[in-house]
C-alpha cells in the first residue's frame, strides 16, 4: 500500500484549485440510471470512489466514458442487479438502489462498505423506500427490493444522529418516477442534496424545497438526459484551509464556496485564522496568535463531522485546551492515537476529545484509519519537525484528488512512496 513521506516545517503559500465534490458526484452518477438518454457531468474529481462508481454503472449495463473531468453516462439498457464485490467496497454505492427501483421497479444491491468510522446502517433508506411501497428483504449480504406500485407518500427520515444524506438522496431519486406526491420530512439539508436536486430538476423532475428539512417531489413519467457541473468540494476546501493555517502560511482556494463553509470558517476565525472572501475564491492566512476552540459536530449547517479530524490536528498547535465532541459517528476518534504518536496531548472522554495544544509535534510513522483521519495526519505531519510517514493513504485517494501534488505545488515537502 502507498504511503506519504513528509518533511515537516514548511509553510504553504500560493493557490490551489478546489475539485468537484465527491459527496455530490456519487449520487448524481447514480441518478443517470433514471434515464435512457445520455447525461454529461462536468467538474468530476478523479477519485478512486468515482472510478468504483464508474465500474458499478458499467456492471449494470450503462455505457460510461470518463475523460479528464468530464463524465458521460448512457444507461439505455440496464439490469437491476449490482456487482457484489464492487458495491460492498464503497458506502456511497447504496445510492443506486433508489434510481434502479424508480426505473426498473426492482433491484438487487449488496450491502455497502466504506471507511471504518462507526455503524452507518441503511435502515432509514429501507424505511423510506418501504413507505413508498417497496417490498424489501435482506439475504446473503444483498438487499432484494421490488416496487411494482411505487407511490408517493409522507416519508420521515430523522435518525439518532440527525437526517441521513444518502438516505435523502435515495428517496429523492426513487420519488422522481413514483406515482403521486412524496413529502420527505427531516430531509438532509447539505449542499450535496441541493446539487442532486438541481440535476434531477434539469432532467425534468419536479422537486421543491431541497436544502430545507421538507422536500416535496411530484412524480413524473420519464426523465431526460442533461448536462451538469458538480459543485466544488467543501470538505477539500476546508481541509486545505486548515492545512494553510496549520503551516503558518497563506493559501488561496480557487473555486471554494464560502456559503457552503459557514461553520468551518466561523471556527477558523474564532481560532484567529485570517480569512478573506472574494468572488470565486477564499484566502486563508495564518493566525498571529492561534487560539483553542470547542466544536460539536452536527448535521448541516452545523460543523461537519468530515472536518472534525482536520480541526483536531490544528488544535494540537493552539496553546490551551480545546474540546471536540463527535455527535454523528461513535468511532471517529481513531486518528487521536496516531496524532499522539506525533506528540499531541489528547484525552478521550465518551464522545469528546480533550486536546491540550501548544506542545511541539515531531515526525513519526503513523497509520491512517479512514479518509478524513488521513487528511488530519498529513496536516499534522507538515506541521511537525522531522519526517512523518503516513501509511495506507489509499483512504485519501477516495476523497482527495492528487492531494500530494496540490500540496507540493504550495510548498510542502511531500512525496508518495509506492507500496510493495
Pick from 97, 39, 89: which is nearest to 398 by CA? 89
List the domains of the chain with CATH numbers: 3-19+232-417 (3.65.10.10), 22-229 (3.65.10.10)
DSSP code for 249: -
Q: What is the pLDDT of residues 161-198, one digit of tens each?
A: 789 999 999 999 999 999 999 999 999 999 999 999 99
Residue 288 pLDDT greater than 70, yes or no: yes
Residue 230 pLDDT greater than 80, yes or no: yes
pLDDT, averaged across the chain: 94
Residue 37 pLDDT greater than 70, yes or no: yes
Least confidently predicted of 5-9, 34-38, 99-103, 276-280: 276-280
Higher model confidence: residue 159 or residue 31? 31
pLDDT band at 280 (very low <50, low <70, confident <90, very high): confident
CB of 197 closer than 8 Å to CB of 218? no
Q: What is the pLDDT of residues 363-416, one digit of tens each?
A: 999 999 899 999 999 999 999 999 999 999 999 999 999 999 999 999 999 999
Whole-number pLDDT of residue 330: 75
pLDDT above 90 as % of the chain: 87
- Which neighbouring-strand residues pair with 219? none
**Cell numbers given for 253:** 482556494
Residue 120 pLDDT greater than 60, yes or no: no
Least confidently predicted of 84-93, 127-136, 252-261, 397-406: 84-93
Whole-number pLDDT of residue 119: 42
For residue 154, how many other CB atoms are within 10 A of its CB? 10
Whole-number pLDDT of residue 113: 55
CB of 99 closer than 8 Å to CB of 34? yes
Whole-number pLDDT of residue 346: 98
Whole-number pLDDT of residue 115: 41
pLDDT band at 117 (very low <50, low <70, confident <90, very high): very low
Q: Would you name the residues annotated as active-site residues?
A: 115
Least confidently predicted of 135-144, 191-200, 346-355: 135-144
Whole-number pLDDT of residue 198: 98
Residue 103 pLDDT greater than 50, yes or no: yes
Quote the pTM value. Answer: 0.95
Q: Which residue has the cell 451538469?
A: 228
Q: What is the pLDDT of residues 40-70, one digit of tens each?
A: 999 999 999 999 999 999 999 999 999 999 9
Contacts of 360 (CB under 8 A, 6+ apart): 343, 384, 385
Say if residue 281 is exposed, middle or buried (CB neighbours under 10 Å; 0-12, 13-18, 19+). middle
Pick from 116, 108, 123, 191: which is nearest to 157 by CA? 123
Residue 225 pLDDT greater than 60, yes or no: yes
pLDDT band at 87 (very low <50, low <70, confident <90, very high): confident
Residue 150 pLDDT greater than 80, yes or no: yes
Least confidently predicted of 157-171, 178-192, 245-259, 283-297: 157-171
Burial letters 158-170, b for 16+ CB under 10 A, else e? eeebbbbbbbbbb
Contacts of 279 (CB under 8 A, 6+ apart): none
**Cell numbers given for 407:** 500540496
Amino acid at each position: 500500500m502507498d504511503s506519504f513521506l513528509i518533511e515537516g516545517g514548511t509553510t504553504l503559500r500560493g493557490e490551489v484549485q478546489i475539485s468537484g465534490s465527491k459527496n455530490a458526484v456519487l449520487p448524481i452518477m447514480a441518478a443517470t440510471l433514471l434515464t435512457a438518454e445520455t447525461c454529461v457531468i462536468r467538474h468530476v474529481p478523479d477519485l478512486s470512489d468515482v472510478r468504483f462508481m464508474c465500474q458499478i454503472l458499467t456492471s449494470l449495463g450503462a455505457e460510461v466514458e470518463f475523460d479528464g473531468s468530464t463524465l458521460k453516462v448512457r444507461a439505455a439498457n440496464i439490469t437491476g442487479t449490482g456487482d457484489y464485490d464492487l458495491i460492498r467496497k464503497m458506502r456511497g454505492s447504496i445510492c443506486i438502489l433508489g434510481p434502479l427501483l424508480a426505473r426498473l421497479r426492482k433491484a438487487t444491491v449488496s450491502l455497502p462498505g466504506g471507511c471504518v468510522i462507526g455503524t452507518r446502517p441503511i435502515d432509514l433508506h429501507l424505511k423510506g423506500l418501504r413507505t413508498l411501497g417497496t417490498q424489501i428483504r435482506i439475504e446473503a449480504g444483498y438487499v432484494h427490493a421490488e416496487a411494482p406500485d411505487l407511490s408517493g407518500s409522507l416519508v420521515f427520515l430523522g435518525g439518532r444522529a440527525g437526517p441521513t444524506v444518502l438516505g435523502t438522496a435515495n428517496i429523492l431519486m426513487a420519488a422522481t418516477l413514483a406515482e403521486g406526491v412524496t413529502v420527505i420530512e427531516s430531509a438532509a439539508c447539505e449542499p450535496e442534496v441541493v446539487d442532486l436536486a438541481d440535476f434531477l430538476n434539469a432532467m425534468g423532475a419536479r422537486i421543491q424545497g431541497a436544502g430545507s428539512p421538507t422536500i416535496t417531489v411530484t412524480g413524473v413519467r420519464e426523465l431526460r438526459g442533461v448536462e451538469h457541473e458538480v459543485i466544488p468540494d467543501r470538505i477539500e476546501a476546508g481541509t486545505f484551509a486548515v492545512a494553510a493555517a496549520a503551516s503558518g502560511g497563506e493559501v488561496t482556494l480557487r473555486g471554494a464556496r464560502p456559503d457552503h463553509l459557514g461553520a468551518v470558517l466561523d471556527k477558523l476565525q474564532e481560532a484567529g485564522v485570517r480569512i478573506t472572501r472574494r468572488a470565486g475564491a477564499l484566502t486563508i492566512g495564518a493566525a498571529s496568535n492561534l487560539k483553542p476552540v470547542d466544536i460539536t459536530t452536527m448535521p448541516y449547517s452545523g460543523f461537519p463531522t468530515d472536518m472534525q479530524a482536520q480541526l483536531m490536528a490544528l488544535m494540537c498547535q493552539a496553546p490551551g485546551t480545546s474540546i471536540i465532541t463527535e455527535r454523528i459517528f461513535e468511532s471517529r476518534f481513531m486518528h487521536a492515537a496516531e496524532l499522539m504518536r506525533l506528540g499531541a496531548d489528547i484525552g478521550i472522554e465518551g464522545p469528546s476529545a480533550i486536546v491540550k495544544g501548544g506542545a511541539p509535534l515531531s515526525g513519526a510513522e503513523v497509520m491512517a484509519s479512514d479518509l478524513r483521519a488521513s487528511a488530519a495526519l498529513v496536516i499534522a505531519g507538515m506541521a511537525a519537525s522531522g519526517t512523518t510517514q503516513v501509511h495506507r493513504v489509499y483512504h485519501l485517494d477516495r476523497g482527495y484528488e492528487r492531494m500530494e501534488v496540490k500540496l507540493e505545488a504550495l510548498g510542502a515537502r511531500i512525496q508518495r512512496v509506492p507500496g510493495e
